[in-house]
Structure 1
């Protein structure tokens, strides 16, 4: 039976579809709620409760101060679509073949996604804006579903916003040396210091709708509420007040090392760089400052949601999870945006706040694919044996526990294994497109590639064997051989 959803103020509502033939279990009143908040393109290096001192994120920081902050969390694919399909399905991209901009439903069949598993256990599941992939700015401008998965929700809401068409001072940064070209939308470095308040924009509407839903759900059945903010994804659009603290003249760029690219294989050079975007130093600083302003705008919206949770007395029975789908390069190595497997692109912020648990910092390697089993265990639900992630539930009580000895991240035919000491990146099935090896204890900024040095031959050989074994493990699943060999090209 189709459920008609009333259109809320400032948001475009759509119709929720049936969740499948499984009869939902009756939920007990003592089951905790889950509030899942995800940003788009937020690197851990831009959050002030991690290592950034220039960009201020007081609301994310206060969540971290009350929860467990994971310092070494990694996405499974540093591109929006496959990353989201992975953590929502509980499968690695190379298990399903979902490496493009889809929900992955065509590859997992009738298996329950993360939120659908909660529906099947008596929860009410809703999403506001960007959880499965939405094109930014396209789907946000249109207020459309993007690559959403209807069976994953009882209710869903799309927050329409003007994006790059917002009125205000704007500038296209890339390939615009004389500053004569107007902003153009799409996946480009550009900013808008927008007129008006937060509610002009998608994320402001998303926060407003999320707060309204929290009030609506208070006292009702347990809920899984997923809130997807689009910032700081390009275009960098935020009310101009958020730009004021980030004066371009005070913006500090990452260190530039002479010959930095000399030891990086061609496959390891990011698709967007200061060179191919023709950015000068002033434009680089403008891009970093605009990113920080977008992060500040995001942080303010997170604060509104957290305030409502507290004001409505729901903190004591709601698990809060905050993260991003992947990281973002901010001129490190002259790289911009995502897609690459170096630290800034593959690492993400992750905070889990469980009522009644002490605040903590966990330094274990964890992955976004762990969220599905973690939330299930924390809520007392069965954790499906088929899931490829690992539950982090025990780390909430004991943050010193080690969940895994390495993080695994992929980009189509490139692969990352990140251990305590090493970051190993292999391009090509056998490394035929190049290798990268960094000593993360001595070279955490990844300036010196050791893969080609004779004294590290044994280390490289060992990592290649470990990677081969890891891929075999990932492909041992219940999806069948057809899914294992599926390939999808990323449309950049």
Structure 2
């Protein structure tokens, strides 16, 4: 009898080990970690993302590999750094990787139902969302794919164009990749992210009896800042919004290449408009957070919490007036750092301070789900941190923006413009100067540190271009 019970116990353990874990990958667009209450924001409340953080591992030093949508998404979905696949624009990685499997495709090839809802690879916002088109998506990655069309800046409500509208003569909101705030009429389903949450919940219910890889892409808080009216209540009147500290001469020691493409000056945004931009961004975050909650609730209702690894992140960060910079692209921490939360069934909640990259998701999730981890992948398997949050994955994170390169260590942030740094260098002591106000690159006291980073950057770029793709660099 005891022998029979032992056999049954071993059989049950074996069956559990072979049971495929689901993957629910939730990604927000243009989200800075500093807008989330679980990362310390006291104005913008994000209870649903906070709930996930309280149940999973929250990473405090996660970095994207491209500080704008196109290269970032092509990178983490393909498993290669942007310069390896020559993707600094807004296309698909497919021409560079050939028949190699993307992250989602690897799961699809391993017997998973693979689907995306809205923006996973690059997709133009707002125009692509208005039209409901695929953008440079990768059809081979998915069993099914769904777009979430929405009105964007055309949504009925009270709207204002904040960017390049100093005299207020533009009638209400205007289209394009522009700072626009719309306090929108209608409910959640009037907008793209509401439709995305609903479709994701339906797919979880429909496919609960088979292993799935589900990519859920929310487009907020990407401009235009459009959200239902109720999501603005905590941020009105806008003049109570607090802007980051403004330091006289802040740009004086920054190379020309380091001045971000959107600034308070070139956007012609006065303090009133800047404060409204922050309020509009936060309202978009609150709306997105509520939609994340709907997806998480559907997972619970389907009985899949213990069978599903949940990831929440963003494609890159975002400036909200720090250094008088706005939006993405900059290689400073506001733009290069990202929120990253991973909830793994059976693991204790934790906070991890190791330097990790979005590129690590492909190999890590493959390993955690018992799939082969392709040796060609350029990210690292970070799964040891779920048993030991103090585990150090790497000594530096790497990111690019088309003009420059970032190496981010725990103590230092090093940015060089041009492959040999001939267009300028930035060096910041992140312990003494975490907001990156004082560039030490030309200080003779730190010449040795600059030399060390130059050599390290040269080695990193060589490593990135040493791969199996067969491309000419």
Aligned: 1:224 with 2:213: yes
**Backbone CA RMSD of aligned residues:** 1.1
Match of 2:349 among 340, 359, 373: 359
Runs of 4+ in 1 over 3 A off after TM superposition: none
Residue in 1 that maps onto 2:461: 471
Structure 2 residues without counterparts, runs of 5 or longer: 1-15
Residue in 2 that maps onto 1:112: 101
Aligned partner of residue 372 in structure 2, secondary structure? coil
Residue in 2 that maps onto 1:267: 257
1:175-254 pair list within 5 angstroms: 175-182=164-171, 183-219=173-209, 221-247=210-236, 248-254=238-244
Tell me the distance in 1 between the aligned counterparts of 2:41 and 2:86.
Answer: 35
Residue in 2 that maps onto 1:32: 21
Residues 12-59 of structure 1 show CA distances to partners (whole Å, capped at 9, x for unaligned) of xxxxxxxxxxxxxxx997110000000000011111111211111110
Tell me the distance in 1 between the aligned counterparts of 2:184 and 2:264.
Answer: 25
1:313-352 pair list within 5 angstroms: 313-352=303-342
Tell me the distance in 2 between the aligned counterparts of 1:52 and 1:428.
Answer: 35
Structure 1 residues without counterparts, runs of 5 or longer: 1-26, 486-492
Residue in 2 that maps onto 1:10: none
Give yes or no for contact 1:164–1:185 (8 Å, CA) kept in 2. Answer: yes
Aligned: 1:407 with 2:426: no
1:69 to partner: Cα distance: 0.4
Tell me the distance in 2 between the aligned counterparts of 1:29 and 1:222.
Answer: 12
Aligned partner of residue 186 in structure 2, secondary structure? coil
Tell me the distance in 2 between the aligned counterparts of 1:407 and 1:51.
Answer: 22
Tell me the distance in 1 between the aligned counterparts of 2:422 and 2:146.
Answer: 45
Aligned: 1:66 with 2:22: no
Residue in 2 that maps onto 1:305: 295
Residues 308-366 of structure 1 show CA distances to partners (whole Å, capped at 9, x for unaligned) of 11111110100000100000100000000001100100000000001111000000000
Matched residues, number: 456
Aligned partner of residue 115 in structure 1, secondary structure? helix
Residue in 1 that maps onto 2:439: 449
- Normalised by the length of structure 1, the TM-score is 0.92
Residue in 1 that maps onto 2:416: 426
Residue in 2 that maps onto 1:384: 374
Residue in 2 that maps onto 1:89: 78
Tell me the distance in 1 between the aligned counterparts of 2:466 and 2:68.
Answer: 24
Aligned: 1:286 with 2:276: yes
Give yes or no for contact 1:413–1:429 (8 Å, CA) kept in 2. Answer: no
Tell me the distance in 2 between the aligned counterparts of 1:249 and 1:102.
Answer: 40
1:392 to partner: Cα distance: 1.2
Aligned partner of residue 323 in structure 2, secondary structure? helix
- Normalised by the length of structure 2, the TM-score is 0.95
Residues 227-278 of structure 1 show CA distances to partners (whole Å, capped at 9, x for unaligned) of 0000000000111110111121221000000110110110000000000011
Match of 1:149 among 120, 138, 155: 138
Bigger fraction of residues in helix = 2
